[in-house]
């Protein structure tokens, strides 16, 4: 708004929820101002207990983060040291590599094949120095998802002393039949696996900053030891607690995203922009050689998408799925720019 003098901004760069926050969360926040002088519950007992019930684990297996992104840092700080290695795919969530760099750990980068994690390549990259493998499933920025059979085979092949982090920020958008049914059961059975979830996407609470990890008790303890005690504020805990069971809202969000994703992919294709089939609330979109110019034109029209900057993907952009009004505005802007 400041840079381009625009007023009505359409923000499609952070994969926010096109419907809005869970109404139950909004209601729960209404009267919290009077508690602002008190620190939040450092153990987030009510929230952890509710999450544990929902996932069929014990509360000691839940770690609360200021967004799930903090849980990535907690893993790195708890388990990675200089000289260790972590394995990441490319392109995937950049925070994995940043978290490694901060603690002086090397990241072994395994490029995707056909825009999907090269699970054989990642398995082959495991060495004596490997401590952690980071996988976001579905994968940001490409939107592809590893199906249950491939994921199970991959998890079975990673040596038990290596911690696998499955970052599932977009989990709710994946059709049930594509999910690995026994994922949480594996953690309960002692597999060296951490699953990350967030309230930022399907629940629409990105502004509250709250996510969590599900892990073995000993893993959760180590993560909690390096966690800042009051990392999840009063509003964040209350909003998440109210949104946990708001299945109607999540269902509405998933339905809208699914319809609008198909429509937007079709419209983009009509304009000559191909997209990668996505199981998320965003589309990885090939803008072609004019990507920089198109992005600039969109910015001047108040539309923010996420242009890719990493070598090899500079002509792509990640576009969050808006509602139809926003989608129509994006397509109209692109039509003008293409013409």
Ligand X SMILES: Cc1ncc(COP(=O)(O)O)c(C=O)c1O
The residues that touch ligand X, with contacts defined as CB under 6 A, are 15, 67-69, 93, 136, 140, 167, 169, 198, 200, 206, 211
Comparison of 75 and 169: residue with beta carbon closer to ligand X: 169
Comparison of 169 and 308: residue with beta carbon closer to ligand X: 169
Strand 85-90's sheet: what is its strand order?
62-65, 211-214, 193-198, 163-167, 130-136, 85-90, 106-111
Separation of alpha carbons 252 and 280, rounded Å? 14
C-alpha to C-alpha distances, 308 to 49, 69, 197, 296, nearest whole angstrom: 39, 20, 24, 13
Q: For residue 283, what is the DSSP state?
A: E
Comparison of 18 and 211: residue with beta carbon closer to ligand X: 211
CB 237, min distance to ligand X, A: 14
Comparison of 200 and 219: residue with beta carbon closer to ligand X: 200
CB 176, min distance to ligand X, A: 20
CB 29, min distance to ligand X, A: 17
CB 206, min distance to ligand X, A: 5
Comparison of 280 and 334: residue with beta carbon closer to ligand X: 280
Comparison of 24 and 95: residue with beta carbon closer to ligand X: 95
Chain residue whose CB lies nearest ligand X:
67
CB 154, min distance to ligand X, A: 17
Question: Per DSSP, which regions of the chain are E strands?
Answer: 10-11, 62-65, 85-90, 106-111, 130-136, 163-167, 193-198, 211-214, 282-286, 303-304, 306-307, 316-320
| Residue 53 near residue 104 (C-beta atoms within 8 A) | no
Separation of alpha carbons 51 and 306, rounded Å? 32
Beta strand 303-304 with 211-214 is unpaired
CA dihedral 19, 141, 312, 289 (to 10 degrees): -10
CB 128, min distance to ligand X, A: 28
């Amino acid at each position: 708004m400041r840079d381009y003098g625009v007023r009505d901004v359409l923000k499609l760069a952070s994969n926010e929820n096109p419907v809005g926050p869970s109404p139950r969360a909004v209601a729960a926040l209404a009267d919290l101002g009077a508690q602002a002088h008190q620190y939040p519950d450092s153990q987030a007992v009510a929230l952890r207990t509710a999450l544990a019930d929902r996932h069929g684990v014990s509360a000691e297996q839940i770690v609360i983060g200021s967004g799930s992104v903090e849980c990535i840092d907690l893993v790195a700080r708890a388990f990675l040291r200089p000289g260790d290695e972590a394995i990441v795919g490319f392109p995937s969530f950049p925070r994995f590599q940043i978290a490694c760099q901060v603690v002086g750990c090397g990241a072994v980068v395994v490029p995707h094949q056909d825009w999907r994690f090269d699970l054989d390549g990642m398995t082959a990259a495991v060495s004596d120095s490997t401590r952690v493998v980071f996988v976001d499933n579905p994968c940001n920025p490409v939107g592809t998802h590893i199906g249950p059979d491939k994921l199970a085979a991959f998890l079975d092949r990673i040596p038990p002393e290596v911690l696998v982090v499955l970052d599932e920020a977009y989990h709710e958008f994946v059709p049930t039949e594509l999910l690995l049914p026994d994922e949480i059961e594996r953690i309960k059975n002692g597999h060296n696996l951490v699953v990350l979830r967030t309230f930022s996407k399907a629940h629409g609470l990105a502004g509250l900053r709250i996510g969590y990890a599900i892990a073995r008790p000993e893993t959760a303890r180590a993560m909690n030891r390096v966690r800042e005690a009051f990392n999840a504020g009063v509003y964040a805990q209350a909003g998440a607690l109210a949104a946990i069971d708001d299945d109607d809202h999540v269902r509405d969000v998933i339905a809208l995203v699914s319809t609008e994703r198909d429509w937007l992919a079709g419209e983009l294709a009509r304009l000559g922009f191909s997209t990668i089939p996505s199981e998320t609330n965003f589309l990885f979109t090939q803008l072609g050689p004019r990507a920089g110019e198109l992005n600039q034109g969109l910015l001047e029209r108040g539309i923010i998408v996420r242009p890719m900057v990493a070598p090899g993907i500079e002509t792509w952009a990640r576009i969050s799925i808006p509602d139809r009004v926003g989608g129509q505005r994006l397509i109209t802007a692109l039509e003008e720019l293409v013409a």
